[in-house]
Structures are given as structure tokens and as C-alpha cells.
Structure 1
Amino acid sequence: MEIIKFLQSFSNPILDYFFLFITNLGGQTLGLIISLIFLWCIDKRYGYKLIFAIAFSLAVNNIIKILINSPRPIGVEGIKSLGKETATGSSFPSGHSQGTASTFTSLIVEFKKTWIIILSITMMILVPLSRLYLGVHWPKDVIFGTIFGIICVFISNHLFEYCERNEIAYPMFFLSALFIILGIFLKNSDYFKSIGAFTAICIGYFLEDKYIGFNPQEAQIQKIFRMIIGTIGFVVIYISFKILMSTSYARDFLCYFSLGLWATVLAPYIFVNVSFKEQTAKKELN
């Protein structure tokens, strides 16, 4: 509590906006953006590996949150809490810290470049710090969230590489089925979102590799086109579920399952079968 009070003793509007910005980048947001850039535009294999690690980590995070059910510092006397809308579920461990740690640990392990290491460590410090400054987590939440995030990357990397090396997918499907079965007992909106995305990623990895064979190495204009179409698809799917289905665990699961399937299968299928370059050539001929 004293650490939070100490950080908040420097409180001012500029720091408030800065840490709100940082906290909104944390968790799954920045990790998802980086994953999709790799998946659709740079390196498909690593894109799958990163998004698999993030989804696995968030599913584990939600399991621990539900089991521990630790209260947040929100409402505690002497602590000012900002950005409460980013504080869903219980307090331990911090999902923002864990998601950020998973994202940037994966980048460090994969690339081992100095600038990536510096950027990653900076984000792995700033995001947990933002959660304390905003008064939505206790110090133990962000410390263990970061530790769990790092551990989850090594577990998910091992599983991903094992499946890739042996050209099998059933360990991923088994883990996905286990998460779904746990959902019978762990009734929580965030958990159903995370396992919906995780299940779709496992299925998508198998389907894309077997039936689509998307290659992200194209001209720069192609990559811009993909990001635009891909982003529009995300928005349409998300809004459609919000409008067409009432709030429920089924909607949470199906919405994020659909988003995961769009990212890993449907969008790559469109990218393979609709060539922006060919369309441009036809226009020039006309």
C-alpha cells in the first residue's frame, strides 16, 4: 500500500494521461497488434507462435484470478484509482503485467537484439508501474503477473515447437479441450474470452497450414492492404456479436473464437485468394 501511495504522491494530469496510455497498450493490446503484423505481413510462423503464447498466458492468468479471487485496491482509503474500466476480474495476478511480459519475453527469446531487449524491459517495467500508479493492482499482483507471463512463454514455446517439429496438432487440441472443460467450473467472462481465442488459434494453426499455405512475403502495398482488411474484419465481427447476441458466456466465447478464427484462417484465406496487385493491374489495363 505504501508503494502505491508513494507513486501517487507524484500524481499530476500529465502522468495520469501517460500511465493511462501505457496501461492501455499493456496486456493483450500491443501483443495482439505485434502478433498480427508478424502473422499477416512479416513471418507467419512467429506470428502464430507469439499469438499462441499470449492466448495461453491469458487463459492461465484468468484461471489463477478466479481461483485466488483477490480484491483490488480500488476503494481502499488513501488510494486513488484511475482507469477502473481496465480493471476487470480479481486482482491477482495482474493480467496487464502478465500479457506484457509474455509478449516481450517472446520477442526477446526470438530475436535477441539489443534494441528489442531494451524496449521489452522498458515495457515490462512501465506497464506494471502503470497498474500501481493507477491504483488498480497491488505490488504482488504485478510482480507475480510478470513472473507468470515469462514462465508461460517458455511453456507455450515448448508446446508449439513440439507440435511443429512432429507435425502434429493434438497436444494443442487437448489443452484447448481442457480449458473448455474447466469453463464448466470457472464461470467468468474474461476466461471465456481467453479460451475462445485460444481454441480458435489452435484450430486456425492446423487449418491454415494444411489447407491455405499463406505466405506473408509480398510487396509493401499488399501488406498495407492486408492490415486494413484485417482490421475492418475485426471491427465488423466484434460489433456484430455485440449487436446480435445478448451478454452471456456463450457470446464471450463465440465472439473471441470468431476473432481468433478470422486472424488465423479467414483473413489469410482472403489474402491468398484476393490479390490486390492483380486488381490494380486490371484497373491499369482498363
Structure 2
Amino acid sequence: MNIFRYYGQLENHVTNILMNILALNNGRLIRPFLESLLGAQAAKFDFKENKINLFSAVNPNPNKQFEFILGIAPSTRTNESSKLEEKLDSIPDAWIYGRNYTILVEMKVRGTLDDGQLAAHRKKFTKSAKIIEVTWENVINVLSQLQLQADSIEGYMVTQFLTEFSEMRNRKHSSGMPKEIIGGNSKEDVIHFIISGSRTTGAYTVDLYRADGTIERLHDQMAGIQESRRFIANFVCENHEKIGIDFIDDETIITDRCVKPGRSKDAWNQWRLGSYLREK
């Protein structure tokens, strides 16, 4: 973990800063933060050997007595659904854990928590983890009420975070990650689409990777990644029975792998079919 690392995606950037602050001095702020935020839910936590992991798909502290999914968003929702539980491979924003507890943290700086993503997060636990949803207002109030000396490292960093958070949240969306992207999946043996190209090469190609390992070229003259995804969305609507993809109308999860010539690592993305069908 490194508080000075910059992440282009806002949620990742805010997560990195806040979790690094909580991890200062061997996680000294973790206990007062969780006790204030979760109340009775944290009453029996053993706060010895507290740790934090960022952006890990694997549960670093499995099979503990107390297991929760903590969702942080601008506002809470009235209900949740798990109908997309098998449709998304999830990467949590953070894990906070100690001797007898594990908390998976999912943050949304804008928008709302995603039912399918939370349901997929539940699969990281051996038993059903309870979902707790709080707002950023709750988090900011807890941070503001922590009894910290102004001249301490923790006090200074919390003050800076509180000062900058509102400005960060109100900035325009980064042009890097499209808002339609809801996750990542690097399982190469499942059905997915391959988008290859760059602004330098000009045209982008779209290939279909089938479950049997064969690859079929679908288009070789796309203008960009977003246009390629719109093409894929319409292709799936018309051919989902032939492809053998799990199809649930607009909620269908599509996986693509973006290949850029000269880049050593491909970028995997997941998005819902309806988000690109609705685009004009």
C-alpha cells in the first residue's frame, strides 16, 4: 500500500487514500473507525493484528466468526437482489480484517451500490456474509468525530482527507474508465470478446472467443472501443442462442478483453448489455 500512488479511477483513488490513512501506525485508527461506523456490529471484533488489503480478488482472512460486506455510497438503497450472483467476477475495493473478523469494502463515490456486484462479493466467503450499507455522510461524520491530535500524523491526514474529499467527488468523471464498466474478469477459458487496436493503428477489430477455444473474427473496421462494444451488444442480442452465452436481456453480463499493440498486459472488462444498447 502506498498513499502517494495515483489511480485514474476515482473510486480506486479515494479507496487508496482512505485505507492508507486507516493503516497508519499499524492500523491504530481501524478500531475507532469501525466501532463508530458499525456500532454494535463491531462490539465483539478482536482488533489485534489488524490489516488492510487493497483490490484483492481473494479473501485474505477466510472462515472468521464475523464476516461482513461494507458498502459505502452517496446514499443507501431500500432493497437488494442477488439474481446476478453467478454473472460477475468481482474485485473488492479493500479488505479490513483482524483475528476474528473480515470486512470486504465496496466503495461508490458516485452512483449507487450494484446488486450483482454485491452478490458476487458474497461468493468470497464460505458462509453468507451480511451486507451493511452506509453513506459517505456517515463516514465523514465518523472521521470528523475521531479524537485525534491536530499535530499527529493521523490527525493531519484525516483533516486533509476531509478537506479534499468533497472536491474530489465533485470533479468531472475521468476520461479513462467508461462509467458502463462494472468489473473485471481475466478467465481466458470463458466466452468473451476480444477488441484489438489503438488510436495509432486506427481501425479496431472485434473477435469472439468461444467456449471451445476457437476465435471468430466479427469485424475489422471499428473506429474505437466504445463503438466496438455497441457492435458487440447488438451482435449478442441477435445471436445469443448460437453463441451459448447466458442471456438475461439488458442485464446480460458481457466480458471483453482489450488488446493494445505494444502493451504487455491486456485489459479485461465487464459490462451490462443494456448500457450499450441504450447508447445512440
User: What's the TM-score bracket when you normalise by the shorter of the two chains?
Assistant: under 0.3
Q: Which structure has more strand as a fraction of its residues?
A: 2
Give TM-score scaled by structure 2 length.
Answer: 0.26
- Structure number with greater CO (CA < 8 Å, separation at least 6) is 1
Give TM-score scaled by structure 1 length.
Answer: 0.26
Structure ID, larger Rg:
2
